[in-house]
Amino acid sequence: MSRFPMRILLALDPFEKHSKPHESEIQDLKRWFADSGSTLEAVHVIQWDPESSDAAERYKKSYDRLTGLIEDWGMSGWVTPSVLQDRFGGREGAVDTLVAHIEMKSVDLVLVASRGRRWMSRMILGSFSERLLVESPVPVLFLGTRPVVTELPPILLFPTDFSPASKAAFSVFVAQVKPLDAEILLLHVEQYPGLITGYGLTGVGAYLPEVYWKIQKESSISEGETWVEYARNNGVRARFLLEECGSNPESVILKIAVEQGVRLIGVASVRSELDKLVLGSISTRLFRWSQMNVWALGPRAYGVILAQRSTGPSLEAPSPPPG
């Protein structure tokens, strides 16, 4: 999942209106993928109808539109266009077709080029993009509508709750972004719900002593520095930031992203059952609200990592930060 050179799939719909990426974004992609020897395949899925007399014509039209879009973006020569025929059918057929292609080609990362309109647009429950994240066996990178553009080496933000899923995501994230020569800002938002945490039989509020929060903070800082050391040992610059808030940690995350000029946000988006996105979770809100690029490890991809680790020596993904 995290080997180099990587095999990357770019999911595009040439019949949708896509905003042309900024020139620096295209150069970042080229440096990240093409210059590292990785392969990038642009894929569009069309409905397959064996009884249709114009199937060949629709295929050619789709291929020509896809090729034209790649040329318009200045990506000819290092991006390979492919049109896939959806043989599954139904509402989820396009996702099933892509997932089958991902598995057949041993893809390491999937890019989704638009969240701008229609079914490739908003990250609403049941949408193409969100279901792709749930079903994809590899991480998905959603290219934002207004990514931050700077001349400085890029800063990548990785918010974490220090969960096992976040650890797994971080290990893959570090491996995949290494060619960018970027710095990872590891962020942990400590939520303090207030002093009152419950009520006893007398109706008097139960207060946690200040020393409890001090110990909690020190523990988070220690854990964060362990992750930072892991990134540095794997050749990626990193630093840790601890922020405190009472509620809405996603607001803090986006605020830090804007203040720091972040180019890309990396996050794990799973729940313990490994089968669905957490409705209303921080990661889902980031997808819906952020106009930046968002890299996400979904539930099935996390399951693949766990399965790989159970095989021992054949594990491809790097070990997660200790802790």
123-156 pLDDT per residue, tens: 333 477 778 888 999 999 988 766 555 656 789 9
pLDDT at 55 over 50: yes
Q: What's the pLDDT at 40?
A: 94
Which of 31-45, 169-183, 206-220, 292-306 has the lowest average pLDDT? 206-220
Kindly indicate the confidence band of residue 100, based on its pLDDT and cuts at 50, 70 and 90.
very high
pLDDT at 168 over 90: yes
Provide the percentage of residues in the chain whose pLDDT is more than 90: 40
313, two tokens:
């020596």
Whole-angstrom CA distances from 84 to 47, 251, 316 are 9, 39, 28
Residue 185 to residue 190: CA distance in whole angstroms: 16
> Quick one: average pLDDT of 293-298?
90
Q: What's the pLDDT at 146?
A: 61
Q: What's the pLDDT at 147?
A: 58
Kindly indicate the confidence band of residue 305, based on its pLDDT and cuts at 50, 70 and 90.
very high
3-state secondary structure of 50: coil
pLDDT at 215 over 60: yes
> Quick one: average pLDDT of 82-91?
83
Residue 261 to residue 188: CA distance in whole angstroms: 18
Domains present along the chain, CATH in parentheses: 7-314 (3.40.50.12370)
203: Cβ contacts below 8 Å, ≥ 6 apart: none
Specify the amino acid at residue 8: I
CB-CB contact of 133 with 140 (8 Å) = yes
> How are strands ordered across the β-sheet holding 155-159?
79-86, 39-47, 7-11, 109-112, 140-142, 293-297, 262-268, 155-159, 183-191, 237-245
**Residue-wise pLDDT tens digits, 227-246:** 999 999 999 999 999 998 87
**Max CA-CA distance within the chain?**
78
Residue 32 to residue 26: CA distance in whole angstroms: 10
Provide the percentage of residues in the chain whose pLDDT is more than 70: 74
Q: What's the pLDDT at 72?
A: 92
Q: Report the mean per-residue pLDDT for the chain.
A: 79
Q: What's the pLDDT at 60?
A: 92
Give the residue with greater pLDDT, 4 vs 1.
4
> Quick one: average pLDDT of 97-105?
95
**Residue-wise pLDDT tens digits, 21-38:** 777 778 878 888 888 889
Give the residue with greater pLDDT, 53 vs 6.
6
Residue 235 to residue 239: CA distance in whole angstroms: 13
